[in-house]
Amino acid sequence: MTDGNPTYEVDRLVLHKELGLGRILLLEGPKATVYFRDLAGARPEDAIRKINTNIVPLQEAPSQSDPILDNLPPYTNGKFKRPVRRRVTLDEGIEKFRSHYPLFFEDPKYLGDLHKGERVYKWTAHELFQRELGDGKLGRLLRDGHLDEARKHALAVEGRMNVLSLYETAAFRDALKDDAAAKRYLDALELILAGSHVEQSSFERYLDIVAGLPSKEGKTSPAKWTVATILPFLAKPSQFMFLKPEVTQDCAARLMFDVQYSTQLNWTTYAKVLEMSDYLLDVLRQYGARDYIDVQSFIWLIGAAWKD
C-alpha cells in the first residue's frame, strides 16, 4: 500500500483522517470493512465502518503493529467471536478509573492501607516476600534443607492477601502439606523468579507443577490460575501478572483484546495476559502506574465497572 497508488489487504493497519487507526477485517472489491480502535460504542459493531476506498482512500499506518488491533477476537461471517460484554475504549476505561480515583495511582483512596484500598496491602505482601524469601533466600533455604521454613514464609505471604477464594486458599495450603509436592512447587517457583524475564520453558514447567499439586477428592483443585500466579506476582510485580480469570476475561473482552483464555494452565494464555498488561502499563505510566499491581487494579475496575 502506498499513498500514490494504494492497495489493500485483510489485516493491514490503516489510517483514516477522522476515524483514526483501524484494521481491515474484510475486502469486497473496493469496499473495506474496517475496525477502528478508538471509536466509541458499546458494541463491537459500533467501531466498524464500511468504506469505499475509491471514494475515501485509506493510508497505510506507519507501524503495522498495535497491541489491541493485533489481538482482536476472530472475525468471521460478519461478527467477532467473543463473549457478550460491553465494549470499552481505553480512553473510556481511563476516564472510568479517574471517576473512582481522581488522582489516579497516587490517589489516597487508591493507595489505601492494610485494610482497604488497592495498592498498599499488596505492596506490603511483596515486601514480606522480599524480606523472607527474596534475593535468593528461597533457593538457599531449599538447598540447605529448610523446607518447612520456606513453606511457612510462602504461605504467610499468600495469607496477607484477600484475592484467592477461601476454597482456593484451602486447596493450596492442603497441597503444600505434602513435603514432596511442596518441594517441587517451591523449586519451580524459585527457578522462574531467578530469571530477569518470564521465560517460557521454566514457566511452563512451573505451570505443570501447579497442575500436578495433590488435591482431596471432592474438594477444589489447586490447579487454578489464581493459585499459579499469586506468589510470582507478589514476588516480582514488575515481571509477573496475577490472573484472576473472570475479571481478566471481562476486561480483555471489553477492550477487544483476545487473551485466548483457557481454564487449563498454559503458556499461550499467560503470555497474552502479559502482552495486554505490558500495553496497559505503557499507556498508564503517564498517570502514575508503576508496575503490574497498578495494572491489575485497572483490569479489575474495567472488568467489573460496567453493566452489560
In angstroms, the CA 121 to CA 293 distance is 10
**Which parts of the chain have pLDDT scores under 70?**
1-6, 308
Which one-letter amino acid corresponds to residue 233? F
pLDDT of residue 6: 61
Same domain? 129 vs 232? yes
Same domain? 30 vs 170? no
Please name every residue paired with 34 in a beta bridge, in sequence order, or none if there are none. Answer: 24, 49
pLDDT of residue 81: 86
pLDDT of residue 176: 97
pLDDT of residue 4: 46
Same domain? 125 vs 204? yes
Proportion of the chain in helix, strand, coil states, percent, rounded to 5: 50, 10, 40
Range of the domain at 227: 90-304
Same domain? 191 vs 283? yes
In angstroms, the CA 70 to CA 240 distance is 22
Let me know: does 244 contact 301? Beta carbons within 8 Å: no
Same domain? 165 vs 59? no
In angstroms, the CA 179 to CA 98 distance is 47
84 in a structural domain: no
Number of domains in the chain: 2
pLDDT of residue 216: 85
> What φ, ψ does residue 50 adopt, rounded to 5°?
-100, 120
In angstroms, the CA 160 to CA 177 distance is 19
pLDDT of residue 272: 98
Same domain? 160 vs 275? yes
pLDDT of residue 82: 76
Same domain? 261 vs 116? yes
